[in-house]
Amino acid sequence: MNSGSKVLQDFFNPLVTETFASTIALRDAGLTNYISEMLANFCQSEELYKIRNAAGRSLSDVGEMLLESDPIFGSAPSFDRERAVRKHIGDYTLFFTGMFPESINRLRLRNNRLDNFVDWMKAGKESYYIVSKFEYFEYAKVAPLFAKLSENFEQCVYGLNQVKNDLQEMQHPIVRRENDLIM
């Protein structure tokens, strides 16, 4: 993580932690730290669109990402690649359904997209569940976190939507003026 992402994570973490605790009664430091880090990383478009197909094209279509993650019938050359792509699908769908739900329909209106047939909530929840089943060796410590993300996916979406509302409120002129007066 670069220093810019660290600063953003430090900004997002208390906001996510407080919002999740107050709106969805989810008090889990590991989970809120992970979500804060995801938000900070996704502020960089190269992180948001880091999954590439075999031809090197960046994927933004969840349906194409699902095909890319399949080690049996799809393009994934290994189970490690499946895990990495599934983790990204979970993060990507959580990010968009929580922070920018209005953009999902716009994405789907584009022609010839596989994700026209994909339920983003189900894809995200299922992807985190699959990642949680990589529970051996180097993945043993983080597997429970992904199980929690899968189990609480809908609540996390709602919590992120509340974070978005809080961020929008912070930008409101009345709040900004109040902060200026306090400072």
Neighbour count for residue 56 (Cβ, 10 Å): 6
pLDDT of 129 > 80? The answer is yes
DSSP 8-state code for residue 117: G
What residue type is 69 in one-letter code?
S
**Residue 128 near residue 146 (C-beta atoms within 8 A):** yes
Kindly indicate the confidence band of residue 182, based on its pLDDT and cuts at 50, 70 and 90.
low
Question: For position 5, what pLDDT does the model report?
Answer: 83
CA 13-94-124 angle, 5° bins: 140
**Residue 96 near residue 104 (C-beta atoms within 8 A):** yes
Largest CA distance in the chain: 60
Please tell me the distance from the alpha carbon of residue 140 to that of residue 135, in angstroms, as a whole number.
Answer: 4
Note the pLDDT tens digit of each residue in 138-167. Answer: 999 999 999 999 999 999 999 999 999 999
Please tell me the distance from the alpha carbon of residue 180 to that of residue 174, in angstroms, as a whole number.
Answer: 10
Window from 2-6, 29-33, 43-47 with minimum mean pLDDT: 2-6
- Please state the pTM of the whole predicted model: 0.89
